[in-house]
């Protein structure tokens, strides 16, 4: 079945460090891929998405490229800030009703 | 942008009671709504998919009689946890979407604590 695997956390970085959170997926058909961010006590916010192979999603300095050959959608940011501290979820969506499958989430802690 | 509102945001109740959680789409008509459950430090697990005016489709392992879902209008879906017990304590999140081409929008979640 469809599934998403992402690197376990927590990831602890210093401010202005480079961030990579790995995400790989398994899917039948051609899914859309997403990164969501969840701040403490809140719901999910869409960070970025890509709907087909080789698409690059980007937002707020974060970016991820849909790699069909490696079934990956790794999240990157060149210089993280303390305000980026949150839990990041990789997800895929497929089917007529866009059923979502989420990865386990990666907690990011950015220290000043 | 599109907003999905969940109510209540936090509820504490005694074991054996039933709890209703509302999910509303505020500025669009949600033809499909989804209910997720999130255990502490874990990912979201899809519980069920509901389409307006029809019965919800539950994921494998989710008890239909335990988690009653109603999607009576294009702007409101409700999840009722019947005869709640401590093991039902969790963070419940809904999402809603309009047409097939539109993305899902997530609510802020409801933290349910059963004593």
pLDDT given for residue A98 in this prediction: 67
B17-44 tens-digit pLDDT: 999 999 999 988 988 999 999 887 778 8
Strands B110-114 and B10-13, by their bridges, are parallel
| A45, A97, A107: residue with CB nearest B32 | A97
- Taking residues A54-81, what's their average pLDDT? 97
Query: What dihedral angle (degrees, nearest 10) is formed by the CA atoms of B33, B38, B44, B48?
Result: -40
List of chain B residues whose C-beta atoms are within 8 Å of the C-beta of residue A106: none
Given CB atoms, is A100 within the 8 Å cutoff of chain B? yes
- Taking residues A2-22, what's their average pLDDT? 94
| B6, B34, B43: residue with CB nearest A104 | B43
Residues of chain B with pLDDT under 70: 1-2
Greater confidence (A51 vs B53) lies with: A51
Task: Using pLDDT thresholds of 50, 70 and 90, give the confidence band for residue A94.
Answer: confident
pLDDT given for residue B2 in this prediction: 57
> Which are the contacts of B60, defined by CB distance < 8 A and separation ≥ 6?
none
């Amino acid at each position: 079945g469809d599934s998403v695997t992402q690197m376990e956390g927590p990831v602890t970085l210093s401010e202005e460090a480079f961030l990579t959170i790995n995400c790989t997926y398994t899917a039948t058909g051609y899914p859309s891929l997403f990164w969501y961010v969840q701040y403490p006590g809140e719901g999910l916010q869409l960070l970025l998405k890509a709907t087909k192979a080789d698409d690059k999603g980007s937002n707020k300095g974060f970016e991820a490229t849909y790699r069909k050959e490696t079934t990956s959608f790794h999240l990157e940011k060149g210089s993280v800030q303390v305000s980026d501290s949150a839990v990041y979820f990789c997800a895929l969506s497929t089917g007529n009703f866009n059923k979502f499958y989420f990865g386990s989430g990666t907690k990011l802690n950015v220290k000043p | 942008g599109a907003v999905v509102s969940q109510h209540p945001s936090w509820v504490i109740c005694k074991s054996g009671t039933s709890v209703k959680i509302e999910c509303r789409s505020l500025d669009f008509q949600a033809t499909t709504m989804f209910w997720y459950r999130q255990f502490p430090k874990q990912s979201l697990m899809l519980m069920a998919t509901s389409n307006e005016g029809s019965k919800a489709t539950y994921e494998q392992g989710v008890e239909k009689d335990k988690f009653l879902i109603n999607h009576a209008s294009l702007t409101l879906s409700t999840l009722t946890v019947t005869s709640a017990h401590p093991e039902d304590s969790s963070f419940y999140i809904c999402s809603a979407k309009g047409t097939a081409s539109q993305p899902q929008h997530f609510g802020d979640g409801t933290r349910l604590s059963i004593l």
